[in-house]
Amino acid sequence: MDKEERKIINQGQEDEMEIYGYNLSRWKLAIVSLGVICSGGFLLLLLYWMPEWRVKATCVRAAVKDCEVVLLRTTDEFKMWFCAKIRVLSLETYPVSSPKSMSNKLSNGHAVCLIENPTEENRHGISKYSQTESQQIRYFTHHSVKYFWNDTIHNFDFLKGLDEGVSCTSIYEKHSAGLTKGMHAYRKLLYGVNEIAVKVPSVFKLLIKEVLNPFYIFQLFSVILWSTDEYYYYALAIVVMSIVSIVSSLYSIRKQYVMLHDMVATHSTVRVSVCRVNEEIEEIFSTDLVPGDVMVIPLNGTIMPCDAVLINGTCIVNESMLTGESVPVTKTNLPNPSVDVKGIGDELYNPETHKRHTLFCGTTVIQTRFYTGELVKAIVVRTGFSTSKGQLVRSILYPKPTDFKLYRDAYLFLLCLVAVAGIGFIYTIINSILNEVQVGVIIIESLDIITITVPPALPAAMTAGIVYAQRRLKKIGIFCISPQRINICGQLNLVCFDKTGTLTEDGLDLWGIQRVENARFLSPEENVCNEMLVKSQFVACMATCHSLTKIEGVLSGDPLDLKMFEAIGWILEEATEEETALHNRIMPTVVRPPKQLLPESTPAGNQEMELFELPAIYEIGIVRQFPFSSALQRMSVVARVLGDKKMDAYMKGAPEVIASLCKPETVPVDFQNVLEDFTKQGFRVIALAHRKLESKLTWHKVQNISRDAIENNMDFMGLIIMQNKLKQETPAVLEDLHKANIRTVMVTGDSMLTAVSVARDCGMILPQDKVIIAEALPPKDGKVAKINWHYADSLTQCSHPSAIDAEAIPVKLVHDSLEDLQMTRYHFAMNGKSFSVILEHFQDLVPKLMLHGTVFARMAPDQKTQLIEALQNVDYFVGMCGDGANDCGALKRAHGGISLSELEASVASPFTSKTPSISCVPNLIREGRAALITSFCVFKFMALYSIIQYFSVTLLYSILSNLGDFQFLFIDLAIILVVVFTMSLNPAWKELVAQRPPSGLISGALLFSVLSQIIICIGFQSLGFFWVKQQPWYEVWHPKSDACNTTGSRFWNSSHVDNETELDEHYIQNYENTTVFFISSFQYLIVAIAFSKGKPFRQPCYKNYFFVFSVIFLYIFILFIMLYPVASVDQVLQIVCVPYQWRVTMLIIVLVNAFVSLTVENFFLDMVLWKVVFNRDKQGEYRFSTAQPPQESVDRWGKCCLPWALGCRKKIPKAKYMYLAQELLVDPEWPPKPQTTTEAKALVKENGSCQIITIT
Tell which residue, 689, 594, 592, has the closest CA to residue 637: 689
Distances from the Cα of 122 to the Cα of 147, 292, 1174, angstroms: 21, 15, 71
Tell which residue, 598, 594, 591, has the closest CA to residue 531: 598
Q: How far apart are alpha carbons 878 and 495 in whole angstroms?
A: 6
Distances from the Cα of 1186 to the Cα of 88, 994, 1189, 1201, 1227, angstroms: 69, 20, 8, 10, 18
Q: At what angle do helices 26-38 and 42-49 cross, to 10 degrees?
A: 120
DSSP string, 915-981: S--TTHHHHHHHHHHHHHHHHHHHHHHHHHHHHHHHHHHHHHHTTT----HHHHHIIIIIIIIHHHH
Q: How far apart are alpha carbons 779 and 489 in whole angstroms?
A: 40
Q: How many CB atoms lie within 10 A of CB 630?
A: 15
Tally of helices (H runs) and strands (E runs) in the chain = 45, 42
Q: What are phi and psi of 399, to 5 degrees?
A: -70, 155
Eight-state DSSP code of residue 833? H
Q: How far apart are alpha carbons 327 and 432 in whole angstroms?
A: 78
Tell which residue, 1163, 1156, 890, has the closest CA to residue 1016: 1156
Active-site hit among 498, 561, 750, 972: 498
The kind and range of the H/E element at 317 are: strand 314-318
Q: How far apart are alpha carbons 646 and 535 in whole angstroms?
A: 16
Eight-state DSSP code of residue 169? H
SS (H, E, C) 1114-1154: HHHHHHHHHHCCCHHHHHHHCCCCCCHHHHHHHHHHHHHHH
Based on the number of CB atoms within 10 Å of its own CB, is 799 exposed (0-12), middle (13-18) or buried (19 or more)? exposed
Tell which residue, 1229, 1205, 1213, has the closest CA to residue 821: 1213
Burial call 306-316: b when 16+ CB within 10 Å, e when fewer: bbbbbbbbbbb
Q: How far apart are alpha carbons 556 and 320 in whole angstroms?
A: 14
Alpha carbon distance, N-terminus to C-terminus of the chain: 55
Whether 13 contacts 71, CB under 8 Å: no
Contacts of 677 (CB under 8 A, 6+ apart): none
Q: How far apart are alpha carbons 38 and 52 in whole angstroms?
A: 22
Q: What are phi and psi of 756, to 5 degrees?
A: -65, -40
Q: How far apart are alpha carbons 587 and 348 in whole angstroms?
A: 32
The verdict on whether 1195 is a catalytic residue reads: no
Helix (H, G, I), strand (E, B) or coil at 845: coil
Q: How far apart are alpha carbons 854 and 771 in whole angstroms?
A: 9
Catalytic residue set: 498
